[in-house]
Amino acid sequence: MEMEEIKQKILEFMQKKAKSKSKIYLKDMQRAIPDAKPMQIKKAANELVREGKLEYFSTGSTVMYSLPGQDLEKGMTSE
Amino acid sequence: MGDIKKHETPTIDDLKKGPFPSFVDDIEIFGLNKKKQACLDLLGQLELSYKNKETHWKHGGIVGVFGYGGGVIGRYSDQQDKFPAIWAFHTIRVNQPASKFYHVSALRKLCDLWDHRGSGMTNFHGSTGDMVLLGTTTEQLEPVFFDLTHQMNMDLGGSGSNLRTPSCCVGKARCEFACIDTQALCYDLTMTYQDELHRPAFPYKFKFKISGCPNDCVAAIARSDMSIIGTWIDDIRIDQEAVKAYVGGELKPNAGAHAGRDWGAFDIQKEVIDLCPTGCMSWDGNKLTIDNKNCVRCMHCINVMPEALRPGTDTGATILMGAKAPILEGAQLSTVMIPFIRLEPPYDNLKEIVENVWMFWMEEGKNRERLGELIQRVGLANFVETVKLKHIPQMIREPRSNPYVFWKEEEVPGGWKRDIAEFRKRHPA
């Protein structure tokens, strides 16, 4: 699968999920797009972060992805 | 800098009374001298937490430097009105140099940077090995990162679902027992897997730890998903004259480490031979003999008589996988996957194994599942097969109790196909 196509699918998945979940594990993206290799999905997700279309959310022990501007807990977006 | 305000902290002040130096004293003195309100607010919030018996930190957040998914751990106080200086108090992990050797000028520069842009508090080192810079605000993250990378040639370490900063023992730099160049390997792995270190790729954390010999000074066997422990494949080198010197009392056992008390004369039989876990050593009063095939590399004899015994010269490493701390199912030590592998730059043989393991873990691992838990879930035999390693007899815990054996076609010579005519020639119907 082409990188652009994977990126598009990731964004579609994130937007669909955004209604119920603000943060998504990489693993869930990989499950949602079974046709692409996990490593490619990781690369695509990281590229989307660089492009500003996704954001990392880190707890310190795990990392999740979210769409920019999600309604996160107050205080976690800015000082 | 304006006035600073010290909070009333009667509960944690009690900690100053103990016999050891107290972090409360340290943080308070530093905060007052340097006029760092963050330090005093930190103690104020800790006092409140002791009183309320719950934490007032909010964990995690969208903080980081551009393009990096790790290295910064977001911390926010939920008591912003009371403690405004620690409203945001993020932690930054900085990748330590291999074996943690520093020049004082580098440390001085780092401390000056952190005094200027952070709380001034550090933690040397975190369990992963990183230098931990404690407490700064979101707007300081990019400037800190810029200074680290552009002025000091340092980089952020790993956090989150990334490869964590690889760490190693002092290795050949300071230790005569080192069987592999731990620093070279640690540096090589760090540089090769930069992408995995900085951009989240895995179901959960993954740690490499490298020890030069089976003494395992970095506790790789207990703390890392992939433990690389130096070992030798030939015989332990014996200097019989030095053994006699230990027996005769001219040399002190354990290099004199237990000299603080009179333990009596050194008894080689009781203190070395009888303690060998496989009983592979013998002493006839004149000559020490080791049955090297039965040595399990416990290192006891070598540690007791370092001038007489030394590791062999044909060296490499043992690869173990699957250790983790006790979050699920208790603590787990890593399991030997490859008893002996030669490790020479560019370490392609090791990297091939690493990448096979990662590929399988990324495909099969569940969210927040460590490699050790995945191995338990799918079974050691299946794991070994999938990542293209070899089964070894020591992996078998007990003889098989199930009499039914299901062979796979590739395990049977000639597969499932049989020449019936040929069979009937030997076994008429």
- In the prediction, which pLDDT does B261 show? 86
End-to-end CA distance of chain A: 40
User: Tens digits of per-residue pLDDT, B129-163?
Assistant: 999 999 999 999 999 999 999 999 999 999 999 99
Average pLDDT over residues B222-241: 97
Count of domains for chain B = 4
Peptide bond into B346 cis (omega under 30): yes
C-alpha B165/C-alpha B158 separation (Å) is: 5
Q: How many CB atoms lie within 10 A of CB A7?
A: 19
pLDDT band at B408 (very low <50, low <70, confident <90, very high): confident
Average pLDDT over residues B109-128: 94
- In the prediction, which pLDDT does B104 show? 96
- In the prediction, which pLDDT does A72 show? 54
* B14 assigned to some structural domain: yes
Name, in order, each residue with C-beta under 8 angstroms of B287's C-beta and a sequence gap of 6 or more.
B240
Residues of chain B with pLDDT > 70, as a percent, come to 99
Is residue A70 scored above 70 in pLDDT? Answer: no
* B414 assigned to some structural domain: no
| Domain boundaries, position B41 | 10-56
Single pTM value for the model: 0.90
Q: Are residues B204 and B353 in the same domain?
A: yes
* B409 assigned to some structural domain: no
Q: Are residues B64 and B141 in the same domain?
A: yes
- Nearest chain A CA: its distance from B201 CA (Å): 6
pLDDT band at A58 (very low <50, low <70, confident <90, very high): confident
Residues of B in contact with A72 (CB under 8 A): 61-62
Q: Are residues B125 and B193 in the same domain?
A: no
Residues of B in contact with A25 (CB under 8 A): 203, 367
Q: Which domains does chain A have, with CATH numbers?
A: 3-66 (1.10.10.10)
Across the interface, do B88 and A79 touch by the CB < 8 Å criterion? yes
* B15 assigned to some structural domain: yes
Q: Are residues B68 and B199 in the same domain?
A: no
Is residue A2 scored above 90 in pLDDT? Answer: no
Option in B61, B138, B367 nearest A25 (CB): B367
C-alpha B89/C-alpha B75 separation (Å) is: 5
Is residue B8 scored above 60 in pLDDT? Answer: yes
Say which CATH number the domain at B109 has: 3.30.70.2500
* B43 assigned to some structural domain: yes
Across the interface, do A56 and B200 touch by the CB < 8 Å criterion? yes
Is residue B60 scored above 50 in pLDDT? Answer: yes
pLDDT band at B419 (very low <50, low <70, confident <90, very high): confident
- In the prediction, which pLDDT does A61 show? 86
Across the interface, do B62 and A49 touch by the CB < 8 Å criterion? no
- In the prediction, which pLDDT does A75 show? 43
Q: Are residues B302 and B247 in the same domain?
A: yes
Q: Are residues B38 and B82 in the same domain?
A: no
* B332 assigned to some structural domain: yes
B79/A contact by beta carbon, under 8 A: no
* A17-26, A68-77, B413-422: least confidently modelled range: A68-77
- In the prediction, which pLDDT does B400 show? 84
C-alpha B161/C-alpha B124 separation (Å) is: 22
Average pLDDT over residues B359-371: 93
Average pLDDT over residues A63-69: 87
Q: Which of B161, B202, B358 is the best mutation test for A, with the most CBs of A within 10 A?
A: B161
B96/A contact by beta carbon, under 8 A: no
Is residue B383 scored above 70 in pLDDT? Answer: yes
Looking at residue B337, the DSSP 8-state letter turns out to be: E
User: Tens digits of per-residue pLDDT, B175-207?
Assistant: 999 999 999 999 999 999 999 999 998 999 999
C-alpha B168/C-alpha A77 separation (Å) is: 36
Alpha helices in B70-217 (DSSP H): 104-117, 141-151, 182-192, 194-198
Is residue A79 scored above 60 in pLDDT? Answer: no
Q: Are residues B276 and B326 in the same domain?
A: no
Q: Are residues B141 and B63 in the same domain?
A: yes
Name, in order, each residue with C-beta under 8 angstroms of A70's C-beta and a sequence gap of 6 or more.
A18, A22, A23, A55
Helix (H, G, I), strand (E, B) or coil at B235: coil
Q: Are residues B145 and B272 in the same domain?
A: no
User: Tens digits of per-residue pLDDT, B40-56?
Assistant: 999 999 999 999 999 99
* B220 assigned to some structural domain: no
Average pLDDT over residues B370-394: 94
Q: Are residues B202 and B337 in the same domain?
A: yes
Q: Which of A27, A28, A74 is the best mutation test for B, with the most CBs of B within 10 A?
A: A27
Q: Are residues B302 and B246 in the same domain?
A: yes
Domain end call among B281, B310, B339: B310
* B161 assigned to some structural domain: no
* A25-29, B57-61, B75-79, B404-408: least confidently modelled range: B57-61
- In the prediction, which pLDDT does B2 show? 64
Average pLDDT, chain B: 94
SS3 for B34-46 is HCCHHHHHHHHHH
Q: Are residues B44 and B193 in the same domain?
A: no
Determine contact, residues B156/B95, Cβ cutoff 8 Å: yes
